[in-house]
Structure 1
Amino acid sequence: MKLKKLVLTGAAGRLGSYLREPLSKMCDELLSTDISDDIGTLYPGETFVKADIAKFDEVEPLLEGADMVVHFGAIVDERPFEEMLGPNFVGSYNVWEAGYRHGVRRVVYASSIHAVGMYPKTEFIDTEVPHRPDTFYGLAKCFTEDLGRMYWEKRQMESVHLRILSAAQVTNPRALGSWLSYDDLIQLVTRAIDTPVVGFTIAYGVSNNDRAPVDNARAAFLGYRPKDNAEQFAKEILGEAEPADPMDSGTMCHGGPFASVELGQSAVKGMGIVDDRKKT
């Protein structure tokens, strides 16, 4: 299925950098957008427009003629609520409302495990568990998932909410279960786009890890079948790790460091995430 027009928000981000090329091959026109001034060399059929998703008048014209939106634009860390409000809460409303006004059929949204991050890791959770956010960042994911459900039930606008666990290089024991490889990310987004009917769907963004702590069975109809497994890194990672503290919520909860950080304080700062975004 080749679409006429796709819109990608957050195109300058690390995950956006890996999505741009495969998305450009799925449509006649890929409109990539971000608050950054530049995203590098454009792929065939791709255009770039600088825009702030927190401003409706900048978002709305981008979605004209679009079939679907892949919405990855946001602050990707914990911040004070006032800083999150525009890009992470209002930005989601702007995408859905502008999409509705222009007849967009579906939004594929980068949700997060942090919408349910306070569940203990000893609980194998599925996509139907009630929200249990670990931060204001996670709360924004809950808001957008509920927004998507409402627009489906009230306005028949489809959405797939990808609860990404950790799409980054495996550098710690938690990632042995939570890793989402870039190849599997691309497959997951592709399935969220090319599945004929999705309604309102939540799916976990996680690779085929032996230690994966979540259950994607209810989203099996998407046809997402991850291929990569973080167990290949287990011997090295566990051999270098300090003993786990069972009283530390960052160790015991699905949200990892986001579960233990103070509200409004950065959780990403100490995670050692490698900025290996794809260069163009």
Structure 2
Amino acid sequence: MKLKKLVLTGAAGRLGSYLREPLSKMCDELVSTDIADDIGNLYDGERYVKADLAKFDEIEPLVEGADMVVHFGAIVDEVPFEEMLGPNFIGSYNIWEAGHRHGVRRVVYASSIHAVGMYPKTEFIGTDVPHRPDTFYGLAKCFTEDLGRMYWEKRQMESVHLRILSAAQVTNPRALGSWLSYDDLVRLVRVAIDTPVVGFTIAYGVSANDRAPVDNALASFLGYRPQDNAEQFAEQILAEAPQADPTDIGTMCHGGPFASIPLGQSAVGSMGIVDDRKKT
């Protein structure tokens, strides 16, 4: 069934750039939003509105009449808590509260492995493990997952929280297990929208990697069946990588570099992420 209206936050970001076109085909109207001045050429049925997630009066009008919100807007690195508070904590509250006031049925949220990033990689973790954040960034994901659960249990507003592992090019050994291809990202978001009933659901955002360190069994009802596998990159990545240090927290924990950095300090800069956002 084609939806009447979808809202996409974080539309100017790297992942948002890959979601805009498929989302525009799932609805009559796609409202894309971010804090950038513009996002380039728009797809059929798409319009762009510049808005700050931390400002309720800018967010509330966007969700009026929307069936669902795909909430990918946030600071996507570790920063001091004071900088994280507005977009990542208050921004999530604004999305859920505005959605509740306007009868939004469901929010599909870009959560993260960093909500449970301090678990050892030797533990094959499911979607039901207790929170164990590795950073203020991960803490914001925990907050929003709990917010979503509360709005479901108290206000019957559905949400699917996608704990994305590594949605970027495979450039290091960790990514051999954590990779989420852009095609699988689209597949995951699509089923999170299309599944008739979801209640409150957590699902890991990861491709069909031989080395995937997480278990999506409890979210199997979504019908997410990833098609890509990072093992195709293993021979080259492992041949070029330095020997791993088993005493390094960043090597041993699910959160990778986020697990080893001091709170409030950037981790993304050391991860070699390629800015290959889709151009319109």
Q: Residue in 2 aligned with 1:117? A: 117
Distance in structure 1 (CA, Å) of the matches to 2:74 and 2:236: 33
Distance in structure 1 (CA, Å) of the matches to 2:39 and 2:223: 31
Q: Residue in 1 aligned with 2:92? A: 92
1:1-280 equivalence runs, <5 A: 1-280=1-280
Residue 21 of structure 1 aligns to a residue whose secondary structure is: helix
Runs of 4+ in 1 over 3 A off after TM superposition: none
Identity %: 88
Unmatched segments (≥5 aa) in structure 2: none
In the TM superposition, what is the alpha-carbon distance from 1:175 to its structure 2 partner? 0.0
In the TM superposition, what is the alpha-carbon distance from 1:11 to its structure 2 partner? 0.1
Deviations 1:239-280 (A, max 9, x none): 001111011010000000000000000000111100000000
In the TM superposition, what is the alpha-carbon distance from 1:76 to its structure 2 partner? 0.1
Distance in structure 2 (CA, Å) of the matches to 1:68 and 1:114: 25
Letter in structure 2 aligned against 1:274 = V
Distance in structure 1 (CA, Å) of the matches to 2:96 and 2:81: 21
Deviations 1:146-201 (A, max 9, x none): 00000000000000000000000000000000000000000000000000000000
Letter in structure 1 aligned against 2:72 = F
Distance in structure 1 (CA, Å) of the matches to 2:228 and 2:202: 21
Residue 262 of structure 2 aligns to a residue whose secondary structure is: coil
In the TM superposition, what is the alpha-carbon distance from 1:210 to its structure 2 partner? 0.0
Residue 215 of structure 2 aligns to a residue whose secondary structure is: coil
Question: Root-mean-square deviation (CA), in Å?
Answer: 0.2
Deviations 1:17-47 (A, max 9, x none): 0000000000000000000001010000000
- How many residue pairs match? The answer is 280
Distance in structure 2 (CA, Å) of the matches to 1:190 and 1:272: 28
Distance in structure 2 (CA, Å) of the matches to 1:104 and 1:186: 21
Letter in structure 1 aligned against 2:279 = K
Distance in structure 2 (CA, Å) of the matches to 1:117 and 1:163: 11
Deviations 1:89-146 (A, max 9, x none): 0000000000000000000000000000000000000000000000000000000000
Distance in structure 2 (CA, Å) of the matches to 1:70 and 1:226: 20
Letter in structure 1 aligned against 2:231 = E
Distance in structure 1 (CA, Å) of the matches to 2:233 and 2:265: 30
Distance in structure 2 (CA, Å) of the matches to 1:61 and 1:249: 44
Distance in structure 1 (CA, Å) of the matches to 2:241 and 2:45: 46
Deviations 1:212-248 (A, max 9, x none): 0000000000000000000000000000011110110
Residue 33 of structure 1 aligns to a residue whose secondary structure is: strand
Letter in structure 1 aligned against 2:84 = M
Residue 269 of structure 1 aligns to a residue whose secondary structure is: helix
Distance in structure 1 (CA, Å) of the matches to 2:170 and 2:4: 36
Residue 109 of structure 1 aligns to a residue whose secondary structure is: strand
Distance in structure 2 (CA, Å) of the matches to 1:270 and 1:217: 32
Letter in structure 1 aligned against 2:222 = L
Give the TM-score normalised by the residue count of structure 2: 1.00
Residue 268 of structure 2 aligns to a residue whose secondary structure is: coil
Distance in structure 2 (CA, Å) of the matches to 1:162 and 1:216: 11
